[in-house]
């Protein structure tokens, strides 16, 4: 039965002992089971990962919560805003429970759980273990006594795990599920992580059946009931800055080639106008409805779809030469380059930037990023935080101008954010909660550079 007032809700974290333990499939099964019961579920994802959030499309893509990029206040603000009108919040963790920034717990799953005051369910793969599984669980449970680890779910479970359940229960620990290996739960992966949700769509009803059969949904609801009350109401009243400030149309390419967007970034941009989503891979950029006043081109997998992006590259070049504001990150940077080289072959791109991109089979950058704006640009001022994660590197001409200095790799020698026309493109994925968007506001209201 759902709570009519929605001040009493349920929220919890699904964490893991390490990466690859099965947090995503466990959280998806729980979310699907709750959806089938009629609950309004809001998924979240700890950290900067763009891919795992796509797998919750059946109840809405997950919202990223990252203390490094958003700050503790930003994490709480985002959580409360997205929980408005929902019944259950499921926060999927990242890596191991305590794995954070530079061998600390900063921005770890444990950190997010403590910021929000949420109980933690630990996913554990007990393959190759017997009593050591209990020692492992109790180690995680007792490592930080301020953290409320309320139970465990065994992933890849077998008949042996039923015996292990009795051992855990004898020590007073809740075994909240034993999820067996199932073909329908497998998710493939590639160089940046799992396949996108839209590429490997799961039948959420099948996930719900598996969740109901193998996970104690009722007990999870009992352990996760929380009172938000005044905080939630205050967050809803605060909103995202009131009514739309500018009646602009903001184009957002969105498909298997460009899918890396933080939902809070899109929500922030919606303050400036209507978000217009279109698929370059389906040729939707050729429609008059795709012509917008501003474009936000996120990251993704353009390198996998080069043969289908020529038309979009020509389209976005025309828009850039008309001085329309374009903000692009990583995959968007690759699109705006002169060309992308893969295995010695070069595919021409938009040529908006005097940059060549070389795609490699090895990881070129993976880190959080602190940045500072060092040159006037149409979008950002001050400092910002974000992250970079890519398998390519850029070769800019000597006269390319940069807007950012970063402590990551960036495009060249610690500089990022290449400038041309009213276009700004870099490798860093910036979280807008950390950024000053005054230049964009001034541009769109006619007071800034055009």
Q: Are 124 and 152 in contact (CB under 8 A)?
A: yes
Alpha-carbon distance of 178 to 325, in angstroms, equals: 51
In the 8-state DSSP scheme, what is residue 377?
Answer: -
In the 8-state DSSP scheme, what is residue 436?
Answer: B
Helix axis angle for 204-214 and 23-36, nearest 10°, is 100
Kindly give, in sequence order, each residue whose CB lies less than 8 Å from that of residue 10, ignoring residues fewer than 6 positions away: 39, 87, 88, 89, 220, 221, 224, 225, 226
| Residue 84 burial (C-beta neighbours within 10 Å; 0-12, 13-18, 19+) | middle
Tallying the residues shown for the chain, one arrives at 450
CA 407 to chain centre: 22
Q: Is 29 a catalytic residue?
A: no
Q: Are 295 and 324 in contact (CB under 8 A)?
A: yes
Beta bridge partners of residue 153, listed in sequence order: 123, 177
Please calculate the CA angle 389-395-396 and round it to the nearest 5 degrees: 110
The structure tokens listed for 119 are 């109980």
Phi and psi at 264, nearest 5°, equal: -70, -30
Kindly give, in sequence order, each residue whose CB lies less than 8 Å from that of residue 174, ignoring residues fewer than 6 positions away: 150, 151, 152, 168, 216, 219, 223
E strand or H helix that includes residue 372: strand 365-373
Phi and psi at 23, nearest 5°, equal: -60, -45
The structure tokens listed for 400 are 């390319």
The structure tokens listed for 75 are 């994490």
β-pair type (120-124, 175-180):
unpaired
- Name the nearest CA neighbour of 207 among 38, 55, 92, 83: 55
Q: Are 285 and 326 in contact (CB under 8 A)?
A: no
For the four alpha carbons of 29, 32, 34 and 37, in that order, the dihedral sign comes to: negative
What b-and-e string marks burial along 355-368, b requiring 16 or more CB atoms within 10 Å of the CB? bbbbbeeeebbeeb
Active site residues: 330
């Amino acid at each position: 039965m759902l709570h009519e007032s929605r001040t009493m809700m349920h929220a919890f974290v699904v964490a893991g002992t390490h990466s690859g333990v099965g947090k995503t499939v466990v959280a998806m099964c729980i979310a699907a089971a709750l959806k089938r019961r009629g609950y309004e579920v809001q998924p979240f994802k700890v950290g900067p990962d763009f891919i795992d959030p796509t797998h919750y499309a059946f109840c809405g893509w997950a919202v990223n919560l990252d203390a490094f990029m958003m700050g503790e206040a930003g994490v709480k603000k985002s959580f409360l805003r997205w929980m408005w009108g929902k019944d259950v919040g499921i926060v999927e963790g990242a890596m191991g429970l305590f794995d954070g920034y530079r061998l600390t717990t900063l921005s770890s799953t444990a950190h997010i759980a403590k910021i929000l005051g949420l109980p933690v369910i630990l996913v554990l793969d007990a393959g190759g273990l017997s009593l050591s599984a209990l020692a492992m669980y109790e180690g995680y449970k007792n490592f930080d006594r301020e953290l409320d680890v309320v139970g465990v779910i065994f992933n890849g479970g077998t008949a042996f795990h039923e015996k292990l359940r009795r051992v855990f229960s004898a020590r007073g620990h809740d075994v909240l599920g034993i999820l067996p290996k199932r073909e329908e739960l497998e998710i493939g992966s590639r160089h940046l992580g799992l396949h996108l949700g839209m590429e490997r769509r799961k039948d959420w009803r099948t996930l719900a059946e598996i969740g109901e059969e193998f996970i104690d949904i009722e007990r999870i609801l009992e352990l996760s009931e929380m009172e938000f009350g005044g905080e939630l109401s205050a967050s809803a009243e605060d909103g995202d800055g009131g009514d739309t400030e500018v009646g602009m149309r903001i184009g957002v390419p969105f498909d298997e080639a460009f899918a890396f967007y933080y939902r809070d970034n899109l929500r922030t941009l919606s303050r400036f106008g209507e978000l217009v989503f279109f698929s370059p891979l389906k040729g939707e950029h050729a429609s008059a409805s795709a012509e917008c006043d501003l474009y936000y081109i996120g990251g993704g997998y353009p390198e996998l779809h080069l043969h289908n992006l020529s038309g979009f590259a020509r389209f976005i070049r025309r828009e850039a030469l008309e001085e329309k504001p374009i903000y692009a990150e990583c995959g968007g940077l690759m699109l705006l380059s002169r060309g992308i080289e893969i295995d010695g072959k070069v595919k021409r791109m938009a040529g908006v930037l005097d940059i060549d991109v070389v795609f490699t089979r090895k990881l070129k950058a993976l880190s959080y990023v602190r940045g500072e704006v060092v040159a006037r640009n149409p979008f950002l001022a001050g400092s910002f935080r974000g992250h970079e994660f890519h398998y390519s590197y850029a070769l800019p001409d000597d006269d390319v101008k940069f807007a950012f200095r970063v402590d990551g790799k960036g495009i060249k020698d610690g500089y990022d954010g290449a400038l041309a026309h009213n276009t700004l493109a870099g490798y860093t994925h910036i979280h807008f909660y950390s950024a000053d968007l005054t230049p964009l506001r001034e541009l769109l209201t006619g007071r800034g550079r055009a």
